[in-house]
Amino acid sequence: MESTLKILELARAQHGVVARQQLIRAGLPATYINHLVVDLRLVPLFPGVYGVGHDVVSHRGRWTAA
């Protein structure tokens, strides 16, 4: 639950996208991040950058991701 809140907090501030390095710095283990990618809870947009829960990201979200 706490990890979900960390992900949502980052995503809300960044137009629905998060970077892998941000998640690692927030304390999420790489294995857990990989699990979220496999389950499509984190959807790859660019290498190391994910949409949270979906791949429909606004233009601002794409700019943030890039």
| pLDDT digits 0-9 by tens, 11-66 | 999 989 999 999 999 999 999 999 999 999 999 999 999 999 877 776 777 777 67
For position 54, what pLDDT does the model report? 79
Q: How far apart are CA 39 and CA 63, in angstroms?
A: 25
Output the pLDDT for position 1: 67
The per-residue pLDDT for 56 is 73
In a 3-state reduction of DSSP, which class is residue 39? coil
Q: What is the pLDDT of residue 2?
A: 85
Distance CA 64, CA 61 (A): 5
Cβ atoms of 43 and 11 within 8 Å: the answer is no
Which pair of tokens denotes residue 61? 């979200």
CA 38 – CA 7 distance, rounded (Å)? 16
